[in-house]
Structures are given as C-alpha cells and as structure tokens.
Amino acid sequence: MISRRTLMLNNAMTLLAAAIIHPALAAPPTANDPLAIVNAIYARAAKGKGDTGGGFVIETKAAKAKYLSKALVALWAKADAHTPKGDVGPVDFDPVTNSQEPDVKSFSAVAEKQEADKAVIAVTIKGNTPRAKAIDDTIRYSFARDDGLWKIDDISGASDGEPWSIRAMLADSLKN
C-alpha cells in the first residue's frame, strides 16, 4: 500500500520531470527580460506600415528613464546640455530602426549573450526597401542591470557599413 507521503512525493517528482522535459510548462519570460523588452519595442515599431519607428524609446525624459540605464540617461543629458541651443543633438536619427525614415516590415531578435548583470540582444530588421549593406539591418542592444531591472546601456549598429554606437556618439559630442 502506498502511503500518502509517497504519493505526494511521486506527484511532485512527476511535475518536476514534466517541467524539465517540456519547456512550455516552464514560466514564460518576464517583461523585464532583455529579449522580451526588445521584442516589445520592435512589435510596436513594426505596427501598421512599420513607419512609426522607435523614437518612443528616446523621445522624452520619462521614456529614457523607462528604457535606458541611469548611466546612459546621464550621459545623454550631459551631451544634450553641451549641444548649442538650436542645434540638433548628437543622435539625429532613429537608432531603433537605424534610419531617418523608419521602415520595419519584420524583425528577428536573438540573445547573443546573457549573464547575471549584462546581456546583448541582436535584432535583424527587414523593411519594404532593402538596404545597400546587409550589416545595416542588424542593431545590437547592450543591457545592464539597474536597480534589479534590465535597462538598455547602449545601442549599436552600422550605417553604410560603418559602425556606430549611441554611447560613443554621446561621448564624442562632449569632446568638441
């Protein structure tokens, strides 16, 4: 005869085995997962005709605080304060779509690296009009933990095959 304790232990072991064997039974990614954050950004940027872009990530102080690390927000504020009145700041394009005129038909995001306190997510976007250089279709997001939350610490890509980084652009603008 099986005791109550043995029956409960067997049920617990069966559930544990099912979770290991069937990942679908495991907990889904949280909204504060770097890959989930990037997927949400691009789902919004690709809505409709895909021409609204990702400016919503950097358009206001509140948006920057929501998406960007404190260190990147501080660097951006310093660069903006250093920009002469009436001039365009050091970031004069939409880094989410790597363009002046957003065109996101589809996207694919993958985690290239994820550690306890940093992660890199690569996104490849396809628009209605192909780019001259395929490398320009990939944008990388470097994430860092900020008060326990994942925040974007840099965005990088290439334009006409030449690499760029938001953090580098902001830092360079302070040298002039």
Q: How confident is the model at residue 19 (pLDDT cuts 50, 70, 90)?
A: very low
**In the chain, what are the helix, strand and coil shares in percent, each to the nearest 5?**
40, 25, 35
pLDDT above 90: residue 104 = yes
Residue 17 falls within a domain, yes or no?
no
Give the number of domains in the chain. 1
CATH number reported for the structural domain that contains residue 59 in this entry: 3.10.450
β-sheet with 162-165: strand ranges across: 106-114, 118-126, 138-146, 149-159, 162-165
Q: Note whether residue 13 is domain-resident.
A: no
Q: Tell me the mean pLDDT in the region 88-108.
A: 92
What b-and-e string marks burial along 106-116, b requiring 16 or more CB atoms within 10 Å of the CB? ebebeeeeeee
% the chain with pLDDT above 90: 69
Per-residue confidence at 31, pLDDT binned at 50, 70, 90? low
pLDDT-derived band at 89, boundaries 50, 70, 90: confident
Domain assignment present for residue 22? The answer is: no
In a domain, 106, yes or no: yes
Coil/strand/helix, residue 36: helix
Asked if residue 134 belongs to a domain, the reply is yes
Mean pLDDT of the chain: 85
Give the residue-averaged pLDDT of 131-142. Answer: 96
**pLDDT at position 51, please?**
83
- pLDDT tens sequence across 32-51: 899 999 999 999 999 988 88
pLDDT of res. 110? 97
Q: Minimum mean pLDDT among 3-17, 86-100, 123-137: which range? A: 3-17
Residue 20: inside a domain, yes or no? Answer: no
Reported pTM: 0.80
Q: Which domain holds residue 149?
A: 30-173
Task: Tell me how far apart the alpha carbons of residues 29 and 26 are, in angstroms, rounded to a whole number.
Answer: 9
pLDDT band at residue 160 using 50, 70 and 90 as cut-offs = very high
Indicate the residue type of 135. I
Gap between the Cα atoms of 109 and 41, Å rounded? 11
| Residue from 116, 96, 112 nearest 157 by CA | 96
Percent over 70 (pLDDT), the chain? 82
Phi and psi dihedrals of 94, rounded to 5? -90, 105
Q: Is residue 11 situated within a structural domain?
A: no
Classify residue 2: in a domain, yes or no.
no
